[in-house]
Structure 1
Amino acid sequence: MSTFQPRIAIVGGGPSGLALGQLLHQRGINTTIYELRPKPTQEELAKPSGMLDLHEESGLTAMRECGLWDKFQAAVGDCSESMCVLNPGGAVLHTDEGGLESRPEIARNALTNLLLENVPPGMIKWNHKITAVQSERNPTTGATEITLAFGVHGAAAYDFVVGADGAWSQIRKLLSDAQPIYSGAQYVTATIRHVSTRYPHLAALSGTGTMSALGHGNALMTHRGPHDSIRLYAALSTPDEHWAATAGLQDKTAADVKATLLGSALLFANWAPALRDLLATACDDETRANPGAAPDIKPYYMLPVGHRWDHRTGATLIGDAAHLMTPWAGEGVNLALWDALDLARVLLGGPVGTDTDAALWQGALDPRLREFEKDMLSRAQQKASETDENRKMFLSEDGAERMAGFFKAFYDMASAEGVVQAH
């Protein structure tokens, strides 16, 4: 009699799904990862992308446990941990070199590439869109079976399914009626490439790490990135969830969006010339690099702070599918990788052996999964609350002053405790 192997599917090939699949594979548990998107090419993964700062208790620990620490260290360095805060007039209100602990920055594409390089060929099923999800009890075995339907790709049944499928998760429908809600903020994203040689004054303005210019309910934020780039995010406060369509920008280019952003006193018309130049150059450069492409304008969504569900045998959620939040604290990918670490430990602790079957495996797993979900959602609630408070601070009328004051109090307290000298 062969040893029981549970049938496990991970829906979603983002960082959490890839990390979970790799952690389980390393320890002999086979999984299948289903991803809606096509497999990215090396050319696509080499393009500049958003930067992610990984934290010690979560993202950095995941890199170590996935066996990627050396490769991770080789992939960082495009963006330092330095930060500066400006007001709309261009005055620098705060600078620091990264705080009390190291939080190295890595490009999202580079992180994806690291994880993909270590996932066995054939584990990921690309271009697989979930069209239906069904949970039912097998009357013969007594086990719960989760059936995933993929349209033209047929269907498959599993003993356990992990929803790592992001904001609009299909797997979440098994567990929760919650839907993401609009946060009141939009991001316009554009990239300037080879900035040090082409626009050295903008390289100096942005610095080697991150820059945040905040005020009047809006923000201009930058990260340095691969190819000596500046990744610019223009954040807008608006109650209009469909702002891009209302403003007639959906079929335009980033260069066209520039006129709207710089032409309104409610947006960036009255900001400092250097900041307006940064925004204009980024929009123009984005259009030159991607002629005819639609502008990258995204409304930001969040699940209700404290989102929870009643545990259900055979399925759980991790990452944005479980606790979607806005990016104002840099916690999203870190929490997602933390979830993957903890869930891998739960699944690795499940029963194995010739006397185990699906029903016994699920029954032994359920109490451990309840604890996992409880812990995951408790820490997510705390981080989501912090993130939402940060959103209110960043997008306030006096955002720069409030953020600078926050950091001053933080460093003053740390200095008084002898931890660090304030910058």
Structure 2
Amino acid sequence: MAPFRPRIAIAGGGPSGLALGLLLHRRGIPATIYDLRGRMGAEELAKPSGMLDLHEESGLAVMRECGLWDKFQAAVGDCSEAMRVLDQHGTLLHADEGELAYRPEIPRNALTNLLVEHVPAQSIRWHHKIREAWSARSEATGATEITLDLGAHGRATYDFVVGADGAWSRVRRLLTDVAPFYSGNQFLTATLRHASTRHPRLAELNGTGVMTALGGGHGILGQRGTQDSIRVYAAVRTPDENWATTAGLAGKTAAEAKAVLLRTQDGPFHSWAAPLQELLATACDEETRDNPGCAADIKPLYMLPVGHTWDHRPGVTLVGDAAHLMTPWAGEGVNLALWDALDLSRALAAVSVEAAAPDAAAAWQAALEPHVRAYEQTMWARAREKAAETAANMDLFLSEHGAQAVADMFKRAGYA
């Protein structure tokens, strides 16, 4: 009799969902990945997409276990591990070359494509949006079945579903009513390309890695990336979740938005040093030149409560932002997501049911239960620690004297 093959679905084709799919594939466990987006083409892949620094115990461990180490190393290098911290007056308070930790930076698009290229093409269902998910006990098999409503693509039923579907996860609703809440800060993102040749003074200001300028509760962050770019983030701390609308920025281009950000008296960066204002203004102008007519990319940042958990239920669990959404102030989001994928793949690989008997699905779920419970307990504990660190960093970075506080933090960590 043929061995039982559990029906496994992964909701979401971001780094955690793709990594989980690839790790399972390498263990001979098929899974279907659903993603509402389409596969990126060459032009989209080439665009600057923000850089992700992968950590040894999490992101880098996944690259090794996926057999992608050599290809990963070939994809890094656009952004060094150097860090510069300035105050709003342009005074350099801290600089290092990342010498105390190996955390190489890879473009988000490159990481996603690296994983996509090694997941079997037939395993990914592009342009599939999960509208709803529900669970029910099968009278025929006694197993818990999870059904996904895929809209125009119909419905599909699985023995196990993993919610890797991000901040506003539909799968999470099977486990908890808790939803993300507004964190109190917003990011405007803009990119200037070919910085070394077209804007050498700004390239020198930013340095080869990450530049963080902080003060008055706000920040201007620059990160080097593909196409010799600087991806600039304007961080604005405000209790107003609808700040973009309130400030008159909704629907405005980045070039139009810069006037509000830099204007006299009420703009968050009106009194900042001229070179920092120039970096932000130039990035906004370049963003609009590259994407004429497009509205500025302004996003309120959301988070789940620190220590968020749920009551375990058979047949379903969460990874990544769906499980522990946090702001980017500790650089842990993608690393935790990849760590989740690694641990959950090992949990799923630990269980097998040999016979295709009528009760095989129920037997497989029963055998899997302690492994998934252990995965969730471990994941909750580390997510709680990293979420608390992230929340503390957010308050530190976006404090009145954030630059000095961050420089002091690096000094305590042993950086010169």
For this structure pair, what is the TM-score category when the shorter chain's length is used for normalisation?
Answer: over 0.9
- In the alignment, does 2:371 pair up with 1:402? no
Could you give the per-residue CA deviations for residues 91-145 of structure 1, whole angstroms, max 9, x where no partner exists?
0000111042200001101111111111111211111111221100001110000
Q: Which digits, 9 at most, give the CA deviation of each residue in 1:23-71, with x for residues without a partner?
A: 1011111110000112221211110011110000000000111111111
Q: Secondary structure at the match of 2:413?
A: helix
Instruction: Map Cα deviations across residues 295-329 of structure 1 (whole Å, 9 max, x no partner).
Output: 10000000000000011000000000000000000
Determine the structure 2 residue equivalent to 1:414.
none
Separation in structure 2 between the aligned mates of residue 41 and residue 202 of structure 1, nearest angstrom: 30
Instruction: Kindly state the Cα deviation for residue 409 of structure 1 after the two structures are TM-superposed.
Output: 1.4
RMSD: 0.9
How many angstroms apart in 2 are the aligned matches of 1:314 and 1:90? 53
Q: Is the 8 A contact 2:219 2:235 kept in 1?
A: yes
Correspondences of 1:70-109 after superposition (within 5 Å): 70-109=70-109
The alignment's TM-score, normalised by the length of structure 2, stands at 0.98
User: Whole-Å Cα distance in 1 between the matches of residues 367 and 340 of structure 2?
Assistant: 20
Using the size of structure 1 for normalisation, the TM-score is 0.96
> How far is the alpha carbon of 1:265 from its aligned partner?
3.4
Distance in 1 between the 2:150 and 2:372 partners?
Answer: 26
The answer (yes or no) to whether the contact 2:132–2:171 under 8 Å persists in 1 is no
Q: Distance in 1 between matches of 2:396 and 2:381?
A: 23
Where does residue 386 of structure 1 map in the other structure? 389
C-alpha spacing 1:355/1:36, structure 2 compared with 1 (3 Å): closer
Matches within 5 A, 1:17-416: 17-266=17-266, 267-354=268-355, 357-411=360-414
Q: Distance in 1 between matches of 2:142 and 2:251?
A: 53
CA distance in 2, matches of 1:104, 1:129: 33
Q: Which stretches of structure 1, 4 residues or longer, exceed 2 Å deviation after superposition?
A: none
Distance in 1 between residues matched to 2:394 and 2:364, nearest whole Å: 43
SS of match in other structure, 2:380: helix
Say which is worse superposed, 313-322 or 94-103, in terms of deviation.
Answer: 94-103
Paired positions, count: 413
Counterpart code for 1:24: L
CA positional deviation for 1:355? 5.8
For structure 1, list consecutive stretches of 5 or more residues without a partner in the other structure.
412-421
One-letter amino acid matched to 2:72: F
In structure 2, how many angstroms separate the alpha carbons of the residues matched to 1:238 and 1:101? 33
Between the two proteins, what is the percent identity of the paired residues? 65
Q: For residues 371 and 26 of structure 2, what CA distance do their matches in structure 1 show?
A: 21
Give the 3-state SS of the residue equivalent to 1:177 in structure 2: coil
Counterpart amino acid of 1:368?
Answer: H
- Tell me how far apart the structure 1 counterparts of residues 56 and 348 of structure 2 sit (CA, whole Å): 23
In structure 2, C-alpha distance between the alignment counterparts of 1:128 and 1:261, rounded to whole Å: 38
Q: Is the 8 A contact 2:353 2:363 kept in 1?
A: no
**What is the CA–CA distance in structure 1 between the aligned matches of 2:170 and 2:217, rounded to whole Å?**
34
In structure 2, distance between residues paired with 1:129 and 1:408: 47
Classify the secondary structure of the residue corresponding to 2:58: helix
Compared CA separation, residues 264 and 322, structure 1 to 2 (3 A)? farther
C-alpha distance in structure 2 between counterparts of 1:402 and 1:264, whole Å: 26
Task: Determine the C-alpha separation between the residues in 2 that align with 1:175 and 1:288.
Answer: 45
CA contact (8 A) 2:2 2:356 kept: no
Q: Secondary structure of 2:277's partner? A: helix
